Amino acid sequence: MNFCSNCGSNNIYFIIPKGDNRKRFVCYNCGTIHYSNPNIVAGCLPIWEGKVLLAKRAIEPRKGYWNVPSGYMENGETVEEGAKREVWEEAEAKVQNLKMHAIYSIPHINQVYIHFVGNLIDGKYGVGEESSEVALFAEEEVPWKDIAFPSSIFTLKHFFEDRKNGDHKMHIGGFDKRKA
């Protein structure tokens, strides 16, 4: 951090502020503590007649790979709203009856994925701006080697496992590069 977003000063230090327990950027000019917190990625796995809807990424990172429709939450929206918005933006689809499915943490890049499972409304979908292709897949058709992110693999594997067991569970997982 080069400048304070509060006063514009370049008198910024990376220190442990009084009463805190970790280093933060602190402006010595105005005293503002600049917190940097994880980004929440909201997404939803749309389901239609036993198949899952995936979007092939038209943007980096992982352009050309398939993904559970997901993206960063926007200020002023709930996690559910963010997940529905991402499904619309990536797959021109609407979902309903969202059920929490997975939380996947990636602390070394400061991300927390929150994925839902939801019903695809009327089986309708299209190709959104961030996608090059969108398709429904049965479990045996999923292009496993071409899935963009570990969070999507986690969500998909647990969805199919739950379906085989006839239940719906909430799954918590993640990848911590610091411990790998």
8-22 pLDDT, tens digit per residue, is 999 999 999 999 999
Q: In 3D, which of 66, 90, 94 has the Cα closest to residue 80?
A: 94
140-178 pLDDT, tens digit per residue, is 999 999 999 999 999 999 999 999 999 999 999 998 877
98-132 pLDDT, tens digit per residue, is 999 999 999 999 999 999 999 999 999 999 999 99
CA distance 40 to 106: 10
CA distance 138 to 33: 49
Q: Give all domains of the chain, ordered by start, each with its CATH number.
A: 1-36 (2.20.70.10), 39-179 (3.90.79.10)
pTM listed for this prediction:
0.90
> Residue 1: CA atoms inside 13 Å, Cβ hemisphere, count?
22
Q: Would you state the pLDDT for residue 180? A: 65
